[in-house]
Amino acid sequence: MLRSALLQLGLKEQLSANLDFLEHISAHGISYGTQAEFLFRQKIFVANTEEFARINANPENTFTVGHNFMSTWTPEEYKKLLGYRAPLNSTDPDSVP
């Protein structure tokens, strides 16, 4: 009800993204200690939403993608979960030790 009322105010895309993010953090029990981190994580979530829409719009794909508990993580945080360790002689600036 709140969503539909707010969407009628003309802020459809931005508001929808904000509400989707709030629903996501609520569903996964996530909270952030600062407004800066909240905005940082929201930016990641919105970028992932756009990427997922692009992937799902491809008619050649036989799969769909969507959000999960890692949807606000940086690539570095995700690599740590996987136990990724760059080789000691790596010159890749994106590698996580």
What pLDDT, in 10s, does the model give residues 22-47? 999 999 999 999 999 999 999 999 99
**DSSP letter for each residue of 9-76:** TT-HHHHHHHHHHHHHHHHTT---SSHHHHHHHHHHHHHHHHHHHHHHH-TT-S------TTTT--HH
Tell me if 68 is assigned to some domain: yes
Residue 47 belongs to domain spanning: 2-82
Residue 84 has pLDDT above 70, yes or no: no
pLDDT, tens digit (0-9, with 9 covering 90-100), for 86-96: 677 766 665 55
Structural domain count of the chain: 1
| pLDDT for residue 62 | 96
What CATH number does the domain containing 37 carry?
1.10.287.2250
| pLDDT for residue 79 | 87
Choice between 51 and 80, residue whose per-residue pLDDT is larger: 51
Tell me if 46 is assigned to some domain: yes
Residue 7 has pLDDT above 80, yes or no: no
